[in-house]
Structure 1
Amino acid sequence: MSLRTEGLAKAFGGVTAVDGATVEIREGAINGLIGPNGSGKTTFFNLVTGLIRPDAGRVLYKGKEITAWSPHRIAHAGLGRTFQLCRIFPRMTVLENMLVAVRRTRLRELLAGSRNAAEVERARHWLHRMGIEHLEHAEARHLSYGQQKLLELAAIFMGDPDLVLLDEPAGGVNPALIDRIVTLVRDLNAEGRTFLVVEHNMDVVMGMCDHVVVFDRGAPICEGTPETVQSDPRVLEAYLGV
């Protein structure tokens, strides 16, 4: 077991965003998390990664309860994530963004020119994997949105995560870049990384994921292979009202 939630719940005011969600993410697989808008997917991500605290339930990672852990501690334990809107430092260079992500280098030291040679080498390795190594000296704000997504993904791997949560990786990028991201995820999964992907692009989800969990109204209603969930009447009702 890589990640498991038990009875996870969160409400904002009188609106229940996640409602008793018990979910198990399959280790070594590319897991998909889908559902209609407002079904609780991003809130679920935020609960799992410690950005918000649940009202009830718990989160288990590698057999340990991490429900009350800080986002930094959770990331240090091997769980990384991206966001729907890229979180980068726009006025720092691509390489500086990578080095800050390590968290061993103090920002003040980095800006003063102090760099660890091993970390720089590791950063360049991941930039090369993403195909943006030629941009290492460019300020992040000058990158295209798709390139910023690749930078955010590269920065996550500076922490060497075992489980990576991707929030809308195909959102707002062109088809060629979507294909590159899908290929990267498959390659990294083949190397032993587990993924959990929230995505509205059903072609991407069904073509990339091994196992899919479907949310509706804050809770899972179906899970299985892409073929299984596509034909499940509960999924059709949630998406199409049929």
Structure 2
Amino acid sequence: MSGLEITGLSKSFGGVCALDDVSVAFPHGKINALIGPNGSGKTTFFNCVTGMIRADSGRITYRGQDLTGRPPHRIARAGIGRSFQLCRVFPRMTVLDNLLCAVQPRTLRAKAGRSHSRAETERARHWLTRMGIDHLERAEAQNLSWGQQKLLELAGVLMSEPETILLDEPAGGVNPALIDRICALVSELNAEGRTFLVVEHNMDLVMSLSHHIVVFDRGWPIAEGPPSAIRSDEKVLGAYLGV
């Protein structure tokens, strides 16, 4: 079943084409990966899908909803969350308060007073426990390691209970122990019903974790399929190795 479907997506910057009439679909309920050499358009694709930048043309559909041109907050409400290549946390706030900031206030009183319910605080602590960083809830985010900040950012994404999560290089700059932890979490959350789309350069992680892989080169998908097919695809080898 297709969850996220892209048709004819294009984006240029000053005459440089980052995405060239991209049409691709990512199965719902799976761990999908988007890979490709540097400059192949992966992050631009993420930014267009999540409304961070507006595509020049094309259509974005998620589970039957047309999200084309919608702003980021409306795309998030449709059930899509994302992380960033460089962690976006509030460095001088506590770990717990970082998660509570991710909660959208639902009443005028909450908006005015920035108060949080007991249920919201319990939910934040639940995700900190799932990430394995609950012992750090009173620490300032700037005092966490890079890998711990990645876990904190993922917990913040999960506070909005998205059905689909886009992860931009979750293993980048992270030590091996925490990479294993991130992989285990993604697998657990997928087993619980969440769909993932992961941009990642760590090919061991991609091949071991993903069910479905799409490969970009120069703003265009050149291959897609299960890891077993991608490993031996001549176009993929050529894009990465120049062979």
Q: Give the Cα separation in 2 of the matches to 1:130 and 1:11.
A: 38
> In the TM superposition, what is the alpha-carbon distance from 1:107 to its structure 2 partner?
7.7
Q: Give the Cα separation in 1 of the matches to 2:236 and 2:141.
A: 39
Q: Give the Cα separation in 2 of the matches to 1:123 and 1:131.
A: 12
> In the TM superposition, what is the alpha-carbon distance from 1:210 to its structure 2 partner?
0.5
Identify the residue that residue 121 of structure 2 maps to in structure 1.
120
Gaps of 5+ in 1: none
Match of 1:109 among 107, 113, 124: 113
Identify the residue that residue 196 of structure 2 maps to in structure 1.
195
* AA at the equivalent of 2:149: Q
**2:68 equivalent to 1:59:** no
* AA at the equivalent of 2:86: L
What do residues 180-236 of structure 1 show as CA deviations (whole Å, max 9, x unaligned)? 000000000000000000000000000100000000010101000111011011001
Number of positions where the alignment pairs a residue of Structure 1 with one of Structure 2? 239
Residues 107 and 167 of structure 1, relative CA distance in 2, 3 Å threshold: farther
Q: Is contact 1:40–1:216 with CA below 8 Å preserved after alignment?
A: yes
Q: Is contact 1:211–1:226 with CA below 8 Å preserved after alignment?
A: yes
> In the TM superposition, what is the alpha-carbon distance from 1:109 to its structure 2 partner?
3.2
Q: TM-score under structure 2 normalisation?
A: 0.96
Q: Is contact 2:35–2:215 with CA below 8 Å preserved after alignment?
A: yes
> In the TM superposition, what is the alpha-carbon distance from 1:91 to its structure 2 partner?
1.0
Q: Give the Cα separation in 2 of the matches to 1:20 and 1:239.
A: 22
Identify the residue that residue 21 of structure 1 maps to in structure 2.
22
What do residues 3-53 of structure 1 show as CA deviations (whole Å, max 9, x unaligned)? 010010000001000111111011110001000000000000000000001
* AA at the equivalent of 2:163: D
Identify the residue that residue 147 of structure 1 maps to in structure 2.
148
Identify the residue that residue 232 of structure 1 maps to in structure 2.
233
Q: Is contact 1:100–1:107 with CA below 8 Å preserved after alignment?
A: no
Q: Is contact 1:35–1:41 with CA below 8 Å preserved after alignment?
A: yes
Superposed structure 1 runs of 4+ greater than 4 Å apart: 105-108
**2:183 equivalent to 1:182:** yes
Q: Is contact 2:105–2:111 with CA below 8 Å preserved after alignment?
A: no
Question: Identity percentage over the alignment?
Answer: 65
Residues 108 and 175 of structure 1, relative CA distance in 2, 3 Å threshold: farther
Identify the residue that residue 83 of structure 1 maps to in structure 2.
84
Q: Give the Cα separation in 2 of the matches to 1:141 and 1:89.
A: 8
* AA at the equivalent of 2:113: E
Gaps of 5+ in 2: none
Q: Give the Cα separation in 2 of the matches to 1:143 and 1:178.
A: 15
> In the TM superposition, what is the alpha-carbon distance from 1:108 to its structure 2 partner?
7.0
